[in-house]
Amino acid sequence: CSPLGEQSFGALGAVVRSAAGMMQNDNGEEMRGKLAGLLDDLGLQGEEAKRLMPLLYHVLGLGDPDATLQHVEPEQLRRQILYAVRTIIE
């Protein structure tokens, strides 16, 4: 856990960055674009992609632009994040 009480998802973030072909110097916009491309390549579009994106943004440290995760309990968030990452690596 971080000093702020948030879980660290560094290893999962590395997996997502690798799967999406992200580079160390990619900015947030480039990372979001590559993540969208990855989901599209995997056939994950529409509602499914819309549901996974905030979770994967969180893992990558890109925040939650639409505040969709704001009221999710920490344990539920952890489960959803693991599901999202598993979805893109299986």
Instruction: Establish if 1 belongs to a structural domain.
Output: no
Per the model's pLDDT, the better-predicted residue between 52 and 4 turns out to be 52
Q: What is the pLDDT of residues 11-38, one digit of tens each?
A: 899 999 999 999 999 999 999 999 999 9
Instruction: Establish if 3 belongs to a structural domain.
Output: no
Instruction: Establish if 16 belongs to a structural domain.
Output: yes
Identify the DSSP state of 40.
Answer: H
Q: Which domain holds residue 48?
A: 10-89
**What is the reported pTM?**
0.84
Residue 36 burial (10 A CB sphere; 0-12, 13-18, 19+): middle
Instruction: Establish if 2 belongs to a structural domain.
Output: no
Instruction: Establish if 31 belongs to a structural domain.
Output: yes
Instruction: Establish if 63 belongs to a structural domain.
Output: yes
| Residue 52 scores a pLDDT above 50 | yes
- When divided into structural domains, the chain yields a total of 1
- 2 pLDDT band, cuts 50/70/90, is very low
Instruction: Establish if 19 belongs to a structural domain.
Output: yes
Instruction: Establish if 4 belongs to a structural domain.
Output: no
Identify the DSSP state of 25.
Answer: T
